[in-house]
Structure 1
Amino acid sequence: MSLENTAEKFGSLTKFLHWIIFMLFLLQYFLVYRREFLPNDTQEKMRYLLLHKSIGICVLILAAIMIYWRRIGVRPKNPSSMTSKERMAAKYTHILLYIVMFVMPISGILMSLYAGYSVSFFGFFNLPMLVSKNETIGGVFYQIHVLCSYFVIALVAFHAFAALYHHYVRKDDVLKRMM
């Protein structure tokens, strides 16, 4: 399998980035919702939060790599059977997915920093505290982070539904290109 994309299908790097970012988003949701069932002020709850922050940084880095890879590489052509509305929906869904891959981790980082908490990358280093504590601004980034989390769920569900629709109803190769 080729590392690079072709006009017919995605290469192994694009597939890897696509699926690892998806898996990290799933893990993020698990960490957040699992943490809610733990008693406050426990070591385990803090470990979930620290892991959540570190994985968020990973998502941000991988998203930047994915955007760069997309810009320098080719993209497989859409099936000729796709309507102009389907092409437009696919284009804007992908744009929105790329945006949330940046907004989610950045809003989480800013939420923590403005709340006065450091953001560690798996304990190796902390991101610099570039802002002063401001709980009001931190609250705004919290709201952005939470709202964006619901938006991500809707976007990913729509994206998955469209892929399954193409595979089972349209019977084209849209899903196969990413498998």
Structure 2
Amino acid sequence: MVKDTVDSFSLVSRLFHWVIALMVVGMLLGGLFVGFLPRGAFKSLVVDLHRSTGFVILVLMALRLWWRSVNPRPKDLGPNAFENQIGRLMHIFLYILVFLQPLFGILMSQAFGSQVSVFGLFTLPAVLPKNPAVGSVFSQMHSITALLLAISVAIHAAAALKHHYIDRDRTLVRMISGK
């Protein structure tokens, strides 16, 4: 099935979900890892990969939002209308965080005077001049967003497990198999 229906997620939607989820978790862990690395060529390589992957996440999220806008949203399976509404709000919050996180990282890099090269293929145009004070602000925003994103991902995963093991509905299964 290529398109979502009111009863199921398409393969495209599921791939967007799981690829972005794995990339975000990897980036959160990688961001922690970078902080422990000593200055040098290896750290520079890891930071460049981190920036490039962040840009890819930003593009994938834009595509995911476009895909979602042209497809019907599958109906909620949870029995509680309030919980369903909280779930919808959590999805919006996650989308916002997943957009802001790489955006803050790119702006931080540029404000600190670093170009953002995407896997060596092209360099993003600088939208900010070098200004370490502004870079520090974006650094803090990037860190705070990372923390909020990590907490939100954990809540999202816990809610999926609650649906599966406590509510015994097909919310998690539907995001895995589509049905």
Cα offsets for 1:119-175 (capped at 9, x unmatched)? 010011111122211111111111110000000011111111111001000100111
TM-score by length of 2: 0.95
CA deviation after TM superposition for structure 1 residue 33, in Å: 2.3
Q: Runs of 4+ in structure 1 displaced over 4 angstroms?
A: none
SS in 2 for 1:29: helix
Structure 2 CA distance for aligned equivalents of residues 168 and 27 of structure 1: 26
Answer whether contact 1:32 1:48 (CA < 8 A) is retained: no
Answer whether contact 1:31 1:52 (CA < 8 A) is retained: yes
Structure 1 CA distance for aligned equivalents of residues 72 and 157 of structure 2: 22
Cα offsets for 1:61-103 (capped at 9, x unmatched)? 0000011111110111112x52221011111100001101110
Tell me which residue corresponds to 1:128.
125
Computed over aligned residues only, the root mean square deviation of the Cα atoms, in angstroms, reads 1.1
Answer whether contact 1:10 1:76 (CA < 8 A) is retained: yes
Q: Identical aligned pairs, as a percentage?
A: 36
Is residue 2:116 matched to residue 1:119? yes
Is residue 2:26 matched to residue 1:35? no
CA deviation after TM superposition for structure 1 residue 28, in Å: 1.1
TM-score by length of 1: 0.95
CA deviation after TM superposition for structure 1 residue 27, in Å: 1.9
Structure 2 residue corresponding to 1:150, chosen from 144, 147, 150:
147
Tell me which residue corresponds to 2:9.
10
CA deviation after TM superposition for structure 1 residue 36, in Å: 2.8
Structure 1 CA distance for aligned equivalents of residues 154 and 34 of structure 2: 23
Structure 2 CA distance for aligned equivalents of residues 60 and 53 of structure 1: 11
The number of aligned residues is 176
Structure 2 CA distance for aligned equivalents of residues 141 and 35 of structure 1: 17
